[in-house]
Amino acid sequence: MRTTNTVVALSLAALLGVASVAGAAPIIPNTGTGGGSTDPNWSILWHGVAADGPSFGFEANASIVTSTPSPPWQPNQSDNKWIGVDSDASISGASGDGSHRYEYAFTTNLSLASDTFVTGAIGYDNYFIGGFFDGSLNTATGVYTPGNQFLTPTGLLGPGNENKAGFCRDSDGFLPSSSFPTCTVDFGFLLPAGNHTLTFVIQGDGITDAFFLNQEGIQLHPVPEPATLSLLGLGLAGVAARRRAKKA
């Protein structure tokens, strides 16, 4: 299983000039687009990870969440909305006690003609488990079997923040309340050419457990030639050396 360190990946993105590309058209749109009550681009699979989480299921088109806590959640926009199991992002009978009761896999598909650097930003409630490409969905049990991991909780949030929610709240959110209304966390990773499923896994207590992708959706940026990458590698090594010198 390969894991990409987010800090290094986003540093590389900055050197490549691809962390944000004005006017770039995303192949995968923001969550909550399409104009209906569901998202045609994202599925949701869920199952219990605790004895008191009996519900499981699968929706080929995840529901648009219309009842969003604001703050701490980033507000819905006309072209960007939260998605979950239903419009309330809640499972009937669940208790909002902040426990790890259910696991959710939010999945979309993409096809790449070449190795590509992928960037975006996500929000979530309550706990981030990981970002994966490929793997398998068991729609009969609600269980997602992970493929290759490209993002860990530590990689996304930094050491010590792994159990914080991906929204804006001083008590338990990764971002402070002053960040509202921009309540998402950046990510970036290298994805090889081919047909892939892309899955973000979260866990929650069954009440307002949802997922949000923005920054113009997921951007896809062709990887430079090997010689260019070598120069960029030397650049990163130089940056690291300067940081070590400052600490000395």
Please check whether residue 64 lies inside any domain of the structure: yes
> What is the number of other CB atoms lying within 10 angstroms of the CB of residue 206?
26
Q: How many independent structural domains does the chain possess?
A: 1
The verdict on residue 185 lying in a domain is yes
Distance (Å, rounded) from C-alpha 130 to C-alpha 4? 11
111 occurs within a structural domain:
yes
For residue 75, which phi and psi values (nearest 5 degrees)? -65, 145
pLDDT tens, N- to C-terminus, the chain (248 residues)? 333 333 334 433 443 444 344 334 446 778 998 789 999 999 999 999 999 999 999 999 999 999 999 899 999 998 899 999 999 999 998 988 999 999 999 999 988 888 888 888 999 999 999 999 999 999 999 999 999 999 999 999 999 999 999 999 999 999 999 999 999 998 888 899 999 999 999 999 999 999 999 865 565 666 665 544 454 455 445 544 444 444 44
Domain, as residue range, for 168: 6-247
In a domain, 65, yes or no: yes
Q: Is residue 236 part of a domain?
A: yes
Residue with tokens 């457990």: 209
pTM of the model: 0.81
Tokens read off for 62 = 């995840």
**Is 103 part of a structural domain of the chain?**
yes
- Enter the tokens of residue 142: 């609600």
Give dist(CA 186, CA 188) in Å, integer. Answer: 7
In a domain, 1, yes or no: no
Residue 239 lies inside a defined structural domain of this protein = yes
